Amino acid sequence: MALDNEQQLAETVHELANLITTGQDDLFMNRFTALHDFEKGQVYAALPENIREVAWRVMDDETLATIFDNLEIDPEEIVGLLEEMPEQKGADILVAMFADNEADLLQAMPAKKVANYLALMPADEVKEIKRLIKYEDDTAGSLMATEYLAVKRSEKVKDVLRQVKKQAEEAESIIYVYVIDDENHLIGVVSLRDLLTHPDDMAIDSITNTRVISVSADSDQQDVAQVVADYNFFSIPVIDADKHLLGIITVDDIVDVIDEEAVEDYSGLAAVDVSDTDDSAWHSAIKRIPWLLTLLVLGLASTALIGMFEHTIRQAPILAAFITIIAGTAGNAGTQSLALAIRHFGNGSDQSGWKNLFSEFISALVLSIIGGAVLALVTMLWQGNDGLALAVGLSLALSILASSLLAHLVPALLNRLNIDPAVINGPLVATVCDWASILIYFSIATAMLSGFVGK
Amino acid sequence: MALDNEQQLAETVHELANLITTGQDDLFMNRFTALHDFEKGQVYAALPENIREVAWRVMDDETLATIFDNLEIDPEEIVGLLEEMPEQKGADILVAMFADNEADLLQAMPAKKVANYLALMPADEVKEIKRLIKYEDDTAGSLMATEYLAVKRSEKVKDVLRQVKKQAEEAESIIYVYVIDDENHLIGVVSLRDLLTHPDDMAIDSITNTRVISVSADSDQQDVAQVVADYNFFSIPVIDADKHLLGIITVDDIVDVIDEEAVEDYSGLAAVDVSDTDDSAWHSAIKRIPWLLTLLVLGLASTALIGMFEHTIRQAPILAAFITIIAGTAGNAGTQSLALAIRHFGNGSDQSGWKNLFSEFISALVLSIIGGAVLALVTMLWQGNDGLALAVGLSLALSILASSLLAHLVPALLNRLNIDPAVINGPLVATVCDWASILIYFSIATAMLSGFVGK
């Protein structure tokens, strides 16, 4: 039913392109306008460039603004589409767009281009958009739209309903109406539901919920998403330090934030950026190389560490067979601890760090005892050498313990320093766990060598 | 402003508990009702059990239903709270809850308990809830609420607005009104915005959007989330195979789905369940043990493989030093490929599998040539042995190539078989990559042994 597969999209694009080619502009506009807003964006971006060249001439600024508001592609690509038009047309479309999307596009342009577009906009629009652009990425300010409905507490239900009807086309969300005082301080919220279910002559004051939940413009977008998800809000107001109402963030933007933050955590764990799966093979390889080479260089330290124990290995070559299982299992335990720690600290949990460390220690201790016992038992049965079994079992247990604590402490430390622990990636931690495991393993094996060589 | 930190919550709970203890029930209800719905759930669950015992007696079924609708904890824990009351009271609350939440709770109970509650409910409620319970987890049917507003196309704007006002309290979302025919087939949608901005006497027919996007009850929840996220909908209708309207899914449930699916992918990559970070240390260890032991046992195969080449290692102990870097780097490349593949196939992308395989091959080839060259160069400078440098460089290159392709092909194959590739986890793939790397490395080293031993 949706244009949710490539074939349906291709057919629609083909059909619409044909209407343009054969000069049936009115029919094209009829068919195009019947599409959902998201589909308008999909189709517009998929039209051949020479057809699009005609299409935007046929459309008014409002239709084009709707298209540009609903394009779910990289801002850079959207800017590319905008630049297919004369600068004045582009500026007009930017002005007609929702302010948050307009700001996103301007932020994706080089400064010179931004200046060109701003020079072609009305002065009050320039002032507002400059205010929005200054908010840092990933903050509430960068997400908020400035198209919202705010009314005074003394107004009547019927008057507010009239404003809702008037502004319905422009405001991004009319599910909540915000109540402000004369200095634009946010003092409450009224839901459209309440407006519809109360008498026309009632004062807004008496149905205003003054326990309005808001976020400040510099809040982290992840915290905003958490509040909206918990409270099941359709939108949330954004205020400044003096509680002035600045804008609103709607739930559709929150959906994007949750997706984006999840991709970030996930990419970190795999040391690869998965945010764009449509990349070409060449780009994909290029993007993976830096981390892979970094890890390779760090891995060379493991090689050097094992090389230091060449003498031990010469006396007991069987020791080499246990390197991957000890380093690998410790690395797995470390990755688990890291994943738990990133989620834990990333969720803004403010529990006592010491309590968590103790939990992690107990949990790692149980894991290490069981893991070590299993490996010792299997080695005993396989090699029939109790000295060797003891050495590898002990090494595995200590390696799991060290790796788990390491992978917990590093994100805990970063969290304490107010750095998002998601910057550490899984393979990096696994590499550091490798170092620890190798040192532990060969130190123990060297010390216990006489206990199993020649048996 | 929100009860978003534990201290604020604790203070509110303490204050409210005091009102109960001192018999000020009315003041308690006043203060409690002023809370946001989400906070009501937070506070209720946090009250001491003996206070809660009094609290639910003070509240009516509607208030309790709101609390239970908004508890953001495990269904099992919510069931526990419900069981603190007599069964008839519990059944009444279940009936007063939104149908989707009611179904979730019943699904979290043992069959015998479900039968007890159903026996205490009105017959028509039992019929509806039995219909909902039968939908599989993770499908649109299991997410949908049956409280929605549907009208006939012949009705007038003013009549529909009257119904909106009447049902505003009960329906989960009144942002869209769905238009149906006499047999309950979904034929269109009208937004509240349209209702408010069109003349009272206009027929619904003339403002109905018949290009309504819907999902079928057995759709995967991930696909539903994608449509809602793309189209920026506040809710989406659910239909059966004959296009009968069954229910709606609201965006707040979609927010939870996106979060849940992301956690699933992420947990898979780390081989640990991160969905509940509040677990005790003991539970946390228990949950991590099965995978860690599985990986340990699979890792023993690597040990056996290396053991087979004990003779080679005896002749050139330095070979042991390169095991971790070759297996580790190949494992990292494999994890990257896996992460990309899971996102790619998980997103329901239906591009040609062959094209992706070719892209992955080119990308892996570039990575393997660069990686192999770097390791060969470093080894040459470090050990001054060109035979050894060639052997380890070649081994690393082939290992990266094999691991990348393996980690791409397995999810591709699962996707072809209609299995969600997220079931494979990162460490499992890394272990299989270990096997491939070890075989490649020691086969090459054994074959080229005469080229570097004794040099």
DSSP-assigned letter for residue B136:
P
Is residue B378 scored above 70 in pLDDT? Answer: yes
Element (H, E) at B137: none
Rounded to whole angstroms, how far apart are CA atoms B386 and B398?
18
Rounded to whole angstroms, how far apart are CA atoms A38 and A12?
14
Which tops the pLDDT comparison, B289 or B188?
A: B188
* Mean pLDDT calculated for residue range A325-349: 79
pLDDT one-digit tens code per residue, B31-64 = 999 898 899 999 999 999 999 989 999 999 999 9
Helices (H), A75-139: 75-82, 87-96, 99-107, 111-119, 123-133
Q: Using an 8 Å Cβ cutoff, are A213 and A233 in contact?
A: yes
Question: Is the Cβ pair A306, B323 closer than 8 Å?
Answer: yes
Give how far Cα A115 sits from Cα of A95, A251, B444, Å. 14, 31, 61
pLDDT classification of A447: cutoffs 50, 70, 90: very high
Rounded to whole angstroms, how far apart are CA atoms A455 and A441?
19
Q: Using an 8 Å Cβ cutoff, are B239 and B245 in contact?
A: yes
Q: Which residues contact B137 (CB under 8 A, 6 or more apart)?
A: B107
Rounded to whole angstroms, how far apart are CA atoms B43 and B14?
10
Helices (H), B59-173: 61-69, 75-82, 87-96, 99-107, 111-119, 123-133, 140-143, 157-167
pLDDT classification of A271: cutoffs 50, 70, 90: low
Question: Is the Cβ pair B340, A174 closer than 8 Å?
Answer: no
Residue B1 is predicted with a pLDDT of 38
Q: Tell me the count of A-B CB pairs closer than 8 A.
A: 355
Instruction: Give the closest residue to B394 by CA, choosing from B418, B419, B368.
Output: B368
Q: What ipTM was estimated for this complex?
A: 0.73
Domains and CATH numbers, chain A: 6-143 (1.25.60.10), 150-259 (3.10.580.10), 281-451 (1.10.357.20)
User: In Å, how far is A363's CA from the nearest CA of chain B?
Assistant: 4
Q: Which of B325, B352, B438 to mutate to test the interface with A (most CBs of A within 10 A)?
A: B325
Least confident of A46-60, A318-332, A419-433: A419-433
- The amino acid occupying position B225 is A
Question: Is the Cβ pair B38, A280 closer than 8 Å?
Answer: no
pLDDT one-digit tens code per residue, B215-229 = 999 998 888 998 888
Which of chain B's residues have a Cβ under 8 Å away from the Cβ of A232? 37-38, 70, 252
The 8 Å CB, 24+ separation contacts for B255-260 are B255/A228, B255/A229, B255/A251, B255/A254, B255/A255, B255/A258, B256/A229, B257/B143, B257/B221, B257/B222, B257/B224, B257/B225, B258/A255, B258/A258, B258/A259, B258/A262, B258/B225, B258/B229, B259/A229, B259/A258, B259/A262
Chain B within 8 Å of A251 (Cβ-Cβ)?
Answer: yes
* Mean pLDDT calculated for residue range B101-114: 91
A38: nearest CB among B232, B280, B314: B232
Percentage with pLDDT > 90 across chain A:
44
Q: Using an 8 Å Cβ cutoff, are A70 and A41 in contact?
A: yes
pLDDT one-digit tens code per residue, A409-418 = 888 887 777 7
DSSP-assigned letter for residue A104:
H
Rounded to whole angstroms, how far apart are CA atoms A26 and B361?
48
pLDDT one-digit tens code per residue, B152-197 = 888 888 888 888 877 766 665 667 889 999 999 999 999 888 888 8
Q: Which residues contact B244 (CB under 8 A, 6 or more apart)?
A: B183, B184, B185, B186
Rounded to whole angstroms, how far apart are CA atoms A169 and B58?
45
Question: Is the Cβ pair A339, B313 closer than 8 Å?
Answer: no
* Mean pLDDT calculated for residue range B21-29: 92
Instruction: Give the closest residue to B387 by CA, choosing from B314, B437, B316.
Output: B316
- The amino acid occupying position B239 is I
A49: how many CB neighbours lie within 10 A of its CB?
Answer: 8
Question: Is the Cβ pair A232, B38 closer than 8 Å?
Answer: yes
CB < 8 Å from B in window 394-453 of A: 426-427, 430-431, 434, 438
Is residue A1 scored above 50 in pLDDT? Answer: no
Is residue B280 scored above 50 in pLDDT? Answer: yes
